[in-house]
Chain A
Amino acid sequence: MSAIVPNRSSMDKKPFRRGVSPPALIPYLVAGDPDLETTRRYLRLAASAGVFAVELGVPFSDPTADGPVIQEAARRSLRHETALSELLDWLGTIPPEELPPLYLMTYFNLFHHMGVESFCKKARATGRVAGVVIPDLSFEDSRDYRPLFRSFGINLVGFVSPTTPVDRARRIVREARGFVYYVGLMGTTGASLSITPAVRDMVGQLKQWTALPVCLGFGVNEPRMAREILGFADGVIVGSRLVREEEDPGLWEKTFLEFVAECRKAEPER
């Protein structure tokens, strides 16, 4: 595993150990949708449910990897000008025990605009940010920024997709930190995943190359599907299905807890 300096939030949890750690559920939320108070409530619930991490989306005006549901949520959040830098300030005000490990997900321009180094400094200072998920920072372009993220102990998640050739996937997981995000389908968030033998094979392959949790995301729209995925993958990321309910806390909590319950029933292959 990597020789990164863990920051506080990642130190809070024991490192992932395949076959020992519980299966990883990673819910995705859009920060500030519909408002930050609601986001805080969702984060608290996720922390008490013991999720592996929350992928916290920071809204961007031009989310090219997202489907309609998350685009709409980002628009709602941007109506009150949710911004990366202020979001970090806000996270710093929440008691650590109310927060699960956080991976901030957004497009590269927001980090670039703030300055990757300033972002890292500030994120580390809050002690609440385990890593970042940046869908439009290609493996090639990330070369310029990987050392920076590492030196601040911010995990830069690695993406693998169904179009990734095998030797390329191997290089990607070698440089990945935090977890490996396997995008199970071609397209944008919110489509519908089908669990094909090719998906299972790729996950199996990735698990042989890395001790990091290999998590499957994009199109996981049923709790039962999440449970099925956890039979062969280390983790599952649930996005649009939950974001759809963000405006109604009652509905969100109900759906989230359904996912939690199903994931607890998962029986990982040994």
Chain B
Amino acid sequence: MSRESAAIEKHKEASRKGSPSLPDYRGYFGEFGGRFVSETLMPALLELEEAFRLAWKDSSFRKEFYGMLAEYSGRPTPLYLAESLSREMGGAKIWLKREDLNHTGAHKITNAVGQALLARRMGKRRLIAETGAGQHGVATATVAAKLGFSCQIYMGSEDVRRQALNVFRMKLLGATVSPVDLGGRTLKDAISEALRDWSRTVGETHYLLGTAFGPHPFPLMVRTFQSVIGQEARRQFLRRVGALPEALVACVGGGSNAIGLFHPFVKDAGVRMYGVEAGGISISPGLHAARFAGGSVGVLQGTRTYVLQNPDGQIENTHSVSAGLDYSAVGPELAYYRNAGRIVFDSVGDEEALEAFRTLSRTEGIIPALESSHAVAYALRLARTLPRDSNILVNLSGRGDKDVMEVSRILEEKGERL
């Protein structure tokens, strides 16, 4: 074994011996994670890690967090049995965890509330964030308005175009939206620009990263906040059905809605978990965002994980019809559970996601976000292979209002009419 793989092997071994809770003290989930950032940001990450640790131990902080989720965001979100949809598919029952019913229309608000309360506790006055589909940008702008932070959102210019409604919402909420005209002009480029801003302004600014990605402690912190999804769903399922679901399905961009749903079920051996990546047009370079299908282990934007990269190690651009899944890397904890065999990953392409977008709207009167439509599409595939009395729980991570203009444009382009 080379010395290099020996170093990586040490991380794996440490995790197998099971520090009972991952990540380890250096932010590694097995061989994934870490803090690959410039020295300027390192002291801020260490400070953030300590502040989060103390806050989460403090019952008054947790009370404030859960209180704001209840009163401001409308938690708990319902567990909903999609009867017509299930009937039409003729297979397993499909249940939806209605994260789309959160204030601002997606699960993103939960993490934004948690981090903004933490930032206030740390005495920060300004929030910055990246956004892809605009849902995280809107969530950040919302909590900034409520808690009195100034707020700046970085968004790839391609995403500014296709998510114009969310851009307007952010501005209305008092945030500055800075279009990023670099690289593929999507989420990855917005994160790079937010990191650059943070290294200039780290004293007064908190970087409110929107997904379970980036340098430690972000993957841990975002997962902790978002785990409320899985904790509620587990309780609700046991109460309604008297058993746990056979399968969980969630779409995966960076992975916060997925790890939030999955994490409280990790030890339930009978519950299978499926992460759905964006298959885009096809699984070839630049045309998709399926990191586990077309990627390899690399280091991007603070973390060691699966990354889409070319043979020289340059990061590849991605494509997906959904801006929120259009990203070259994936959260380190999901990479860990994937390699441990606990979570199965697959991909759904643009066409199939669009089809599911329309199917759910037509059968249930629920217009899903294009991101969540990938999870719905996969659940439909899965339902056909399972017996009627089994249950699939889908994380309906967001609502589709933001996407209707883009979908209408695509349908028109294809010459289809509703």
- Give chain B residues whose Cβ lies under 8 Å from the Cβ of A67: 196
Q: Would you list which residues of chain B between 270 and 323 have a CB under 8 Å from chain A?
A: 297-302, 304, 307, 309, 312-315
Which residue of A is nearest B314, CB measured? A61
Count of residues in B whose CB is under 8 Å from the partner chain? 44
- Closest-CB distance, A160 to chain B (whole angstroms): 6
CA distance A78 to B11 in the complex (A): 34
Tell me whether A163 and B40 are in contact (CB under 8 A).
yes
Contact B309 A113 (CB under 8 A): yes
CB of B263, distance to nearest CB on chain A (Å): 24
What interface size band does chain A fall in? Answer: 35 or more
Map CB proximity to B onto A159-178 as digits: 1 under 8 Å, 0 otherwise. Answer: 11111110010001000000
Q: Determine whether B43 belongs to the interface, using a CB cutoff of 8 Å to chain A.
A: yes
Docked-complex contact B38 and A159, CB < 8 angstroms: yes
Given the interface pairs A109-B299, A112-B299, A187-B200, the reply to whether A78 lies near B39 with Cβ below 8 Å is no
Is residue A188 contacting chain B, with contact meaning CB distance below 8 A?
A: yes
Within the complex, the shortest CB–CB distance from A19 to chain B, in Å, comes to 27
Q: Is the CB of A161 within 8 A of B39?
A: yes
**Closest CB of chain A to B129's CB: distance in Å?**
16
A67 to B197 CA separation, bound complex (whole angstroms): 10
Check if A84 sits within 8 Å of B182, measured CB to CB.
no
Interface: B164 (CB within 8 A)? no
A78, A85, A148, A168: the one contacting B4 at CB < 8 Å is A148
CB pair A136 B199 closer than 8 Å: no
Per-residue A-contact encoding for B1-37, CB less than 8 Å = 1, 0 else: 0111001101100000000000000100000001111
The winner among B36, B192, B202 for most chain A CB atoms within 10 A is B36
Q: A163, B202: Cβ atoms under 8 Å?
A: yes
B307→A109 contact, CB < 8 A: yes
Q: Is B183 located at the chain interface by the 8 A CB criterion?
A: yes
Q: Is the CB of A138 within 8 A of B39?
A: yes
Q: Once the chains bind, are A183 and B301 in contact (CB under 8 Å)? A: no
Question: Which chain A residues (203-232) contact chain B, with CB distance < 8 Å?
Answer: none
Q: Which of A39-47, A97-105, A139-147 contacts B (4 or more CB under 8 A)?
A: A139-147
Min CB distance A69 to B, Å, is: 13
A186 touching B312 in the complex, CB below 8 Å, given contacts A109-B307, A145-B7: no
A62 in contact with B4 given A81-B312, A163-B40 (CB within 8 Å):
no
A64 within 8 A of B: yes
Interface of B is mostly: mixed
Contact of A144 among B7, B42, B44 (CB under 8 A): B7
Asked whether any CB of chain A lies closer than 8 Å to the CB of B392, the reply is: no
Q: Is B376 part of the contact surface with A, judged by Cβ < 8 Å?
A: no
Chain A residue with the shortest CB-CB distance to B216:
A140
Q: Which of A136, A139, A161 has most B Cβ within 10 Å?
A: A136
The reply to whether A65 and B38 form a contact with Cβ atoms under 8 Å apart is yes
Contact of B40 among A137, A161, A168 (CB under 8 A): A161
Let me know if A110 and B38 touch, CB within 8 A: no
Q: Whose C-beta in chain A lies nearest to the C-beta of B193?
A: A64
Closest CB of chain A to B310's CB: distance in Å?
Answer: 9
B38 touches A186 (CB 8 A): no
Residues A62 and B3 in contact in the complex (CB < 8 Å), given A137-B36, A186-B200, A187-B200: no
Task: Report if B155 contacts A (CB, 8 A).
Answer: no
Q: Does A52 contact B (CB under 8 A)?
A: no
In the complex, what's the smallest C-beta–C-beta distance from B38 to chain A, in angstroms? 5
Asked if residues B199 and A186 are in contact (CB atoms below 8 Å), the reply is yes
A139 touches B42 (CB 8 A): yes
Q: Are B43 and A168 in contact (CB under 8 A)?
A: yes
Within the complex, what minimum Cβ distance (angstroms) separates B312 from chain A? 4
Choose one: B3, B34, B297, B312; the contact of A147 (CB below 8 Å).
Answer: B3
Known A109-B300, A163-B40: A117·B3 in contact at CB below 8 Å: yes
Decide: A113 and B313 in contact? CB cutoff 8 A.
Answer: yes
A136 near B37 with CB under 8 A, answer yes
Q: Is A94 an interface residue (CB 8 A)?
A: no
Chain A stretch 23-49: residues in CB contact (< 8 A) with chain B: none
Which residues of B are found within 8 Å of A191, using beta-carbon distances? 200
A136 touches B36 (CB 8 A): yes
In the complex with contacts A168-B43, A186-B199, A187-B200, A141-B38 CB distance below 8 A: no
Pick the contact of B42 from A60, A116, A138, A147 — CB < 8 Å? A138
Q: Of the candidates A138, A161, A162, A165, which one forms a contact with B35 in the assembled complex, judged by CB atoms under 8 Å apart?
A: A138
B195 at the interface (CB under 8 A from A): yes
For the complex, give the distance between the alpha carbons of A13 and B298 in Å. Answer: 35
Residues of A within 8 A of B206 (CB): none
Let me know if B199 and A65 touch, CB within 8 A: yes
A81-B312, A84-B312, A188-B199 given; A163·B43 CB < 8 A: yes
Identify the B interface with A (CB < 8 A). Answer: 2-4, 7-8, 10-11, 26, 34-44, 182-183, 188-189, 192, 195-196, 199-203, 297-302, 304, 307, 309, 312-315
Nearest 8 pairs of A and B residues by beta carbon: A113-B313, A187-B200, A83-B312, A159-B39, A144-B7, A161-B40, A61-B314, A61-B315
Give 16 CB contacts A-B under 8 Å: A61-B314, A62-B189, A78-B314, A109-B313, A115-B2, A136-B302, A138-B37, A138-B39, A141-B34, A144-B8, A144-B11, A148-B3, A164-B43, A186-B200, A187-B200, A188-B196
Q: Given known contacts A148-B7, A159-B39, what 7 new A-B pairs fall within 8 Å (CB)?
A: A65-B38, A109-B309, A135-B39, A141-B36, A148-B4, A160-B39, A163-B43
